[in-house]
Amino acid sequence: MSLTVGCNSGEITLWEAGIREKLCSKPFKIWEMQSCTLTFQASAAKDAPFSVSRVTWSPDGSFCGAAFSKHLIHLYAYTGPNDLRQHLEIDAHSGGVNDIAFAHPNKQLCVVTCGDDKLIKVWDLTGRKLFNFEGHEAPVYSICPHQKENIQFIFSTAVDGKIKAWLYDNMGSRVDYDAPGHWCTTMLYSADGGRLFSCGAGKDGDAHLVEWNESEGAIKRTYTGFRKKCGGVLQFDTTQNHFLAVGEDSQIKFWDMDNINILTTTDADGGIPSLPRLRFNKEGNLLAVTTTDNGIKILANATGMRSLRTVEAPPFEALRSPLEAAAIKASGSAVPSVAPKVERSSPVRPSLILNGVDSMARSMEKPRALDDVNDKMKPLQLTEIMDPAHCRMVTMPDSADATNKVARLLYTNSGVGILALGSNGIQKLWKWVRNEQNPSGKATASVVPQHWQPNSGLVMTNDISGVNLEEAVPCIALSKNDSYVMSAAGGKVLLFNMMTFKVMTTFMPPPPASTFLAFHPQDNNIIAIGMEDSTIHIYNVRVDEVKSKLKGHQKRITGLAFSTTLNILVSSGADAQLCTWSIDTWEKRKAVPIQLPVGKAPTGDTRVQFHSDQVRLLVAHETQLAIYDASKMERIRQWVPQDALSAPISCAAYSCNSQLVFASFIDGNVGVFDADTLRLRCRVASTAYLSQSAINGSQAVSPVVVAAHPQEANQFAVGLTDGSVKVIEPTESDGKWGVSPPADNGVLNGRTGSSSTASNHAADQIQR
């Protein structure tokens, strides 16, 4: 967890946040004075010191950039934990360089800068200037490079409050907005790039935090909660597509992106300046904040605390704040006695908590007893999608085959395709083409994809020799880079190349047969294989060897899920048991039964999937949906089929942002649940996506599996008993499934709930 700090003395320091250790320090010096302009050489000779105006990391963490208060930028190559090597010095602007950022125009890593000379410039990594954007009438204060639908551009803001946007050409600014307050403003996108925010202050001292409607150049939402006069320039940051944080009034103030009212504040046990600088780490579970005595405090939520403790030196001191956070501090004596500029942690170092984000507001809420939760639940009028006109839906071409139900269904990790494994062992791949109708090239219910095959005509067919397909349990897993798919259908496990469909290798011939497959999240050569005989084999593909055999279940394995945050593998079986295993030693840590209805035998598939925080665990069984705290394997939520959704559950999955749960039922319904509370938001009836003949035929069609799009939170796909695959989304006018659940006593997990019902759903959309 590297933290880069730039100081008013011009020094750049690199810290290891977990142990409060300075890894390296780069005092300011001019590397090649003779290469600088005469104007700069004259300026540099004066007594005024050089200070760091901004530090930043390249997206892959290979470079660190620093902008200075006079003319210069420095680029360092990051070559190791304590090694920043001089790479490039550029005399970039006349006067101060106010901001620096990395961008990828035309897939080339470049540096974007802006300065007091009213210019924005783009440089390659050799120091060659590629673009020079003119048009601002005042010093340019900040820049925000971004890309949407393959269109790359730069937002810039000047000290007169003008906001402009530039494409990588010489055609001038494409927009001209006015920032609230008409003074220094910073712009940031949410982590998924879907939402644009700005924060700044007016010359009158009023603070402004807003969300923009980019297409209209209008303010969409203005957040409240600032004191009357902030008295200077604000700094803010966003995290996890969910929260905003601003340093103001010697506090850190937090907002939910969807609520204009302030969510919570903390003074971090005091000692932070009136307008502190702050930055979240990449995962969003640590927040670095400057202090009045020239130090840095690190605020952490529960997941951040776990990551810090893995590298902890002295004990941590808990903060008495609404975040229930802990802070560590780099003391003022170790940091130059100036006001430091804090930057996001380097993404290059191996993260101790891959995908391990426990969102700030959610970590405020301690798990409550199940009965307590149920007592406080308020009724919610259901949004029901009954008609095809009330949603968007597309059917995969060449997918229907009444003799071959869809047994497993996956989106590719890139979001451009869907992979289905049939009960006959054949895998099919569909891809969306990038075109005018679908400029992103991502999976969408608005465009029909292509049934994709290589030119060779090869088909991904599993080994089914000697297999009774009616008894076989097909299983599938996809590598992170979408290059390989591993699958089995009662026979040997086959590893296919996703580009050529060729079989790269085969392994684990039965008996016993494989029933569930999972790649190790940190090593694609390690595979966890659940077996028909209830064991789990930890198999190393590279050496073709089973490294460990895990025994703890009584029936076949039906689910596997890794948590790198907790360092465990969770397994589920047809015995209705959940087991946790240490990833380091593969020893069993705990075994718990899921709580079945009275009289129900422990049978049926139990599936498991981790929330994006890598702590909460979704457990799906035909009798229930449940959320467990996997650190203790304690159940904290449960939903059982009832009312409109009373049929057994066939499958369930978290949405990509873990805010929804999609669940399919054997009667054809699909339920959309709030993931925090398991309250039902929306029911998509079979009549919305199936024909009457499919519903009323001699063999009624129903969903077997459901999968969630990896980037679009409201898109899901279902695989059906007739072999067909359908992608389903809300209508464009709705934009989401149902309404937000009402609050418990007005607040639910730190977010103000909506009391809208299905009848005023449209009004709720406009309001939000």
pLDDT reading at 52 higher than 80: yes
Three-state helix/strand/coil letters over 218-272: EEEEEECCCCCCCCCCCEEEEECCCEEEEEECCEEEEEECCCCCCCEEECCCCCC
Ramachandran bin of 150, using left for φ above 0, alpha for ψ from -120 to 50, beta for the remaining angles? left
CB of 506 closer than 8 Å to CB of 492: yes
- The answer to whether residues 664 and 653 touch, using CB atoms and an 8 Å cutoff, is no
Residue 713 one-letter amino acid: A
Mean pLDDT of the region 58-68: 90
Instruction: Place 313 in a pLDDT band, splitting at 50, 70 and 90.
Output: very low
What are the pLDDT digits (tens) for 197-219? 999 888 777 889 999 987 677 89
Average pLDDT over residues 359-379: 36
Q: How many CB atoms lie within 10 A of CB 542?
A: 9
Query: For the segment 486-504, what is each residue's pLDDT rounded down to a tens digit?
Result: 999 999 999 999 989 999 9
pLDDT confidence bin for 76, thresholds 50/70/90? very high
DSSP state of 348: S
Q: Which residue has the higher pLDDT, 332 or 86?
A: 86
The total number of residues written for the chain in this structure: 768
Say which residue the tokens 């730039």 belong to.
6
- Give yes or no for a contact between 425 and 492, defined as CB atoms under 8 angstroms apart: no
Q: Are 64 and 4 in contact (CB under 8 A)?
A: yes
Q: How far is CA 589 from CA 74, 356, 557, 566, 630, in A?
A: 50, 20, 17, 12, 11
Mean pLDDT of 697-706: 90
- The residue ranges of every structural domain in the chain are 365-400+641-768
DSSP string spanning 735-763?
A: -SSS-PPPPSTTEETTEEPP---GGGHHH
Residue 505 or residue 340, greater confidence: 505
485 - beta bridge partners? 478, 496
User: From the CB of residue 325, how many other CB atoms can be counted at a distance below 10 Å?
Assistant: 28
Give the pLDDT score at 342: 52
% of the chain exceeding 70 in pLDDT: 84
Residue 119 has what pLDDT? 95
pLDDT at 334 over 70: no
**Residue 650: alpha-carbon gap to chain centroid:** 27
* CA 97/CA 117 separation, integer angstroms: 9
Question: What distance in Å separates the CA atoms of residue 66 and residue 28, rounded to the nearest whole number?
Answer: 11
Confidence class for position 3, pLDDT limits 50, 70, 90 = confident
Conformation bin of residue 231: beta by default, left when phi > 0, alpha when psi is -120 to 50: left
Most confident option among 229-233, 316-320, 713-717: 713-717
Cα–Cα separations (whole angstroms), residue 637 to 306, 374, 559, 633: 23, 9, 19, 12
Q: How far apart are CA 247 and CA 637, in angstroms?
A: 35
**pTM of the shown model:** 0.53
- Listed in order, strand segments (DSSP E) in 498-587 are 503-507, 514-520, 523-531, 536-540, 545-550, 557-563, 568-573, 577-582
The count of C-alpha atoms lying within 13 angstroms of the C-alpha of 236, restricted to the half-sphere facing its C-beta, is 32
Residue type, 61: G
| Residue of higher predicted confidence among 762 and 385 | 385
pLDDT surpassing 50 at residue 624: yes
- Of the listed ranges 114-128, 367-381, 477-491, 731-745, the least confidently predicted one is 367-381
Give per-residue burial for 685-713: e unless 16+ CB within 10 Å, then b. Answer: bbebbbeeebeeeeebbbbbbbbbbbbbb
Q: Indicate whether 762 pLDDT > 50.
A: no
Out of 35-44, 247-256, 531-540, give the one with best mean pLDDT.
531-540
Convert the pLDDT of each residue in 738-754 to its tens digit: 865 444 433 333 322 32
